[in-house]
Structure 1
Amino acid sequence: MPQLTDEAVTDGDGGGPGTWMTPQEYGASRAAVWTGAVVLVTDTDGRVLVQSVDYRADRMLPGGAVDAGEAPSAAAAREMREELGVDGSYPNGLAVDWIPADTPGFPPEMRFPGEILFVYDGGTWTPDRVDAIRLPAQEITGVHFAEPADLPALMDPGDARRALSALRARINGGGPALLEDGRPVAPTALDRFGALGTRRAPHHGTWHPGPVPAALPVREPSAWLFAPDGRVLLLICRTTGATRLPPPTAGSTPLGYRYADEAAHPRTAARLGSLPPAADPAYVRLLATPEQVRELADWGPAGHAELAAVHTARSHLGLPRPPRTPLAELPEQGASW
């Protein structure tokens, strides 16, 4: 910060170290930007709440401008109350985005100076809370929950990038993401490989513990492979961002199966030993908590039962419950514990 003086400095060396400015000069030199606040809400299936408005064609996250003298978190709570009729507080931030002044879509007469926009975590809403939404008489014309991969088709490009970056930051659990025009300044593995950029394949049905009955056809067997810290192995496609569990390994024990489409989709569980070099170059190997794996998938209500079974298996293996940390990429040359 420059040194300030109430009098003009006339001596040749500026009167001392640094740049001397009057308070008026310093104030005029500072960049002026708008401030906004939005809230990211998901439903129990991991879809994102977006709303339709009467003044533009694309969808938006709930939120709006921060009023003069208003804290961004207070603005988020006020906007949620005004737009959705829902009271609440949103103390946890997911992202802070710098939106440049030359962003397309703003009329020249608006003289858009750029904006700092805060994205807050609205949490996961149950059906009862969704039913409590009450729309105002004007401005907000409807709300619905969208598959994350559909956001670019529904929203302004910058808004979609920001929403997906914030959702990935929530899943990572490493703190708010710093964004510039919706793009992370320090991309995580989920950002680099475009997680949630492709529609999640729905794997619904009912969860059944134990081995698959002999009479049932089997499809897509997969495994929960536990690292020593309690995290599990997850595969993410380099080109699409789609995620999946790895195939079973020798020595895996039956965990249960999901019954859907007249077939069993079995899951097994095992310790993850030392890993050889990656066998399939199309996929990157990540370590994630079981909760992160579920949040990157569309498993429907049966996901709760499967997640409980996963933690039971982890406990039986004598492994700790892992804290939520950003998903970590394993080295291509393999890993040992």
Structure 2
Amino acid sequence: MTTTSVPGEQPGTAMTAEAYGALRTSAALWVGTSVLITNQFGQVLVQHVDYRDTCLLAGGAVDKGESPARAATRELVEELGVTATVDRCLAVDWVSADSSGAPAAMRFPGEILHVFDGGVWDDDRIGEIRLPPSEITGIEFVEPARLPDLLSPSDARRALSALRARINGSGAALLEDGHPTAPTTLDRLEVLRTPRKPQRWPWQAASVPSGLPVRQSWGWLFAPDGRVLVLIGQDTGSGCLPGGTLEPGDHNDPAAALRREAYEEAQVLISDPLHLGYLYDASGPQARVRLYARLTHSRPVARDPATGQTYARVLATAEQAAELFDWGPDGAHQIRAVHAARARLGLPNPQRQTVTELPAQGSIF
């Protein structure tokens, strides 16, 4: 083995196994693991603990001779009483020695921390949770935007980066103190940094009944590769589908409202919109219509004249789009209808991939 063993030693000097081992030991880091778990509303499970004043994701230290994935599985049993297979890594974070605020007596050398995907837990799985007699004092599912209020700054950055990596589905994100080394579109836009508005109205795959007022018209707008257009507020990181409230000039026509809103908000032109279904809002009562169409052109990015907002225009799969909203379990019914509409348009079923942004200068589809 020929490498330098101490500073100043000439390159190429042969090292003994003992010297090489000592060198590597002097640079050793701790290894930790955590698990990102969400419920069917896209909220993140956090643990309240009795040994610090901030919350944590499930997880802990990796034991000697233990792999990070095995440690994650063990920690779920120890902390939540749940046995689950954990084998997909969402993020690997290099945590610097001076970033944690650890007391000097701890001699914290830095850490490599893995974040694994614990999946989406339904009510039955959540009902299986059994907390240990000490350390974990409670759990709750919280909006992603609340993580910076509940976790330490670096823990919150890491959790949000892992959540965005899960949405992208393109492999584990590499982080340094919670910051992505290669930020994606979702990272750059800081998606999920503000609370999502609950939109848990029941889905109706039918025409709007006579006499039920239509309040809003939103669109699933398809690119040629089968992905859909989602708008992300530059100032908020919040997502929305193109569309909005019907105005007098729309003459109670949801399709006219969608064409107008798509151009004002997103500067896109679309084919003739077709009816997909509606959400029944009992507070009116009223209907919030969903239409679908093809994207045909995008113009240069501009401000929405109605709100002054400038949106980033991103393409995502229907499932990725749904993960940016709080639709609850009923959202799955709408996604099935979206795929049926995509098939009627003769478009491919896209695989999950990194969310990408439309060119700011515009394009033809």
TM-score bracket for this pair, using the shorter chain length:
over 0.9
Instruction: Kindly provide the CA deviation profile for residues 108-143 of structure 1, in whole angstroms up to 9, marking residues without a partner as x.
Output: 100100000000010001100000011111111111
* Structure 1 residue 24 corresponds to structure 2 residue 23: no
Give the Å deviation of 1:216: 2.5
- SS of 1:116 mapped into structure 2: strand
Matches within 5 A, 1:1-337: 3=2, 18-30=12-24, 31-247=27-243, 248-249=258-259, 251-260=272-281, 261-262=283-284, 263-280=286-303, 282-337=310-365
Quote how far apart the aligned CAs of 1:3 are: 1.0
Provide runs of 4+ in structure 1 moved above 4 Å.
none
Identity of aligned residues (%): 55
Q: Aligned partner of 1:297: which letter?
A: F
Whole-angstrom CA distance in 2 between matches of 1:47 and 1:90: 19
Compute the displacement of 1:292 (Å). 0.3
Match of 2:264 in 1: none
Looking at structure 1, the residues matched to 189 and 55 of structure 2 have their Cα atoms a distance apart, in angstroms, of 25
The 1-side partners of 2:23 and 2:364 are apart by: 55
Report the Cα offset of residue 210 of structure 1: 3.1
The superposition leaves residues 254-276 of structure 1 with CA deviations (integer Å, 9 ceiling, x where unpaired) of 11111123221111001111222
> What is the CA RMSD across the aligned residues, in angstroms?
1.9
AA matched with 1:3: T
Unpaired stretches in structure 1, ≥5 consecutive residues = none
Listed one character per residue, the Cα deviations across residues 13-38 of structure 1 (whole Å, up to 9, x for unaligned) are 95xx7354333333333311100011
Does the CA-based 8 Å contact 1:198-1:242 persist in structure 2?
A: yes
Which stretch of the first structure deviates more once superposed, 178-187 or 211-220?
211-220
Partners of 1:189 and 1:328 within 8 A in 2:
yes
User: Which residue identity is paired with 2:68?
Assistant: P
Give the TM-score normalised by the residue count of structure 2: 0.86
Structure 2 unaligned spans of 5+:
244-257, 260-270, 304-308
Q: CA offset at residue 246 of structure 1?
A: 1.1
Structure 1, residues 54-100: CA drift from partner, whole Å, max 9, x if none?
11111110000001111111111111111111112211100000100
Contact map agreement 1:4 1:23 (CA 8 A) in 2: no
